[in-house]
Structure 1
Amino acid sequence: MSFRLKRSGRVWLGEFAALTDAGFTNGCSCRLHGQSSIVPDGLNLALHVGDDAELVLANRRLYAAALGVDPAGFTTCAQVHGTKVVAVTKELVGSGALAYADTIADTDALITDLPNVPLLLFYADCVPVLLADTKTGAVGLAHAGWRGSVGEIALQTALAMQKQYGCKPQHLLAAIGPSIGSCCYEVDDVVLAAGAKYSQCFTPNKNGKYQLDLWLMNRLQLEAAGLAKEHIYCAETCTCEEKELFFSYRAEVGKTGRMGVSVCRR
């Protein structure tokens, strides 16, 4: 299995074995066994959804312990469903770790070549795309909802790593984490028109709308960036279908917490 769930202390999280085996800490958190003022017992890791900040920080400490990283090093950004990619330097390490006010603004993807710097983004159906370079040690993390996917943020992140750190596509590993699957993701003509370049990712359904496969859309972008098909892993886990295990924005009508997805070079 390329993606596996495991328990570490109180926390359940998923990891990609290929990244772990290559020397990269990675983890997709679940919703279970945390503290939250908005979701009973929820392991919400986001500070921007109206939860009690101290509870969120306690959850982040649990998640960090499960990953084996320093929670003060978590480096986050204020996700806006755009395509901006920011390279994390030493000065930016820890942005947003303890307060939302100092997170990296208006950004949906982070890259870095610094070791032991856990990038951290937040999801509740949107697609997390993790990237790791086995030669340079550089990593990347992108937030790809339908707008980001149509805007080709996975492609842009991979290209940014190549430009910024000299990464070669043949050395890049990529992983598509738990997110809403085509089984549950119905979209309309507006989304179809915006994503016309990826028409093969849309399947018409009986009510005149479409089922959108964001996993395929992001995979195609990673392949366009030069990654080998066998180096692209997918959890193939639908957060909407598995809402007892993951937060799902769609299944819970927007009133929910956020999972965290993290990657760093050890």
Structure 2
Amino acid sequence: MNIDDATLMAYLDEALDPQDAAQVDAALARDPELAARVARQRRLDARVRTSHAAALEEPVPEALVQFVLGHGAASPEPAAEPTAASSNVVAFPPRKRARTLWTHLGALAAGVVLAVIALPWLRGTGGADWVQGADGLQARGALAAALDDQLSADRAGKVQIALSFRDQDGQYCRAFRVESARTAGLACRGAQGWSLPVLARDAERAQGELRQAASPLPPAVLDAVDARIDGDALDAGGEQAARKAGWR
């Protein structure tokens, strides 16, 4: 069985059938690196789930429900009467899905991660979003503006914010994705602005191909978050307060 990102996400969502889930369990037992990655994802899920628990339990606004119902929500086909053959089949209830952090937060459009990017690749992708400074990469342009102003719940721009937190030195950090550059990273606020200690890129996809909606951040970014985060991720109120204070 190929344990790719999609399979891992389904495993974390408890969406695999028992046979496939057992194969992933066996793979985790054989592969310490894979097991560590799953454990890391679960730790981050738990931290952010705690921070966003109130928001996740809020009911969907009635206006949004009515909009969806009135715009393309197809009516289900009536169930077929059981045949003599099918009447011998027992329908087991679907396995309950414990949705992961990325599914709950609307996730970030994602793909299969290749690797941490190297400087030559940066020159051709970031454009005005980052520059190489004396102390490393610094966010600029639309990325810097999004890091300053955008909340994790905002999904309209080209930059997607996954989560925000304080690191062990008390600085604010934010994990993000830049869709146009197929890039994800971690930004931390310092005296000179937003530094970018980690950037990673997604695998190249064919133009127009749909990308998986619920996928974790690249392992390099998850590693950086896990190593730096102090306590839980900020909830919506915490982000608003940090933004008002200029992330200082």
Fold equivalence (TM over 0.5): no
TM-score, L = length of structure 1: 0.30
Bigger proportion of residues as helix: 2
Q: Which has the larger radius of gyration?
A: 2
Bigger proportion of residues as strand: 1
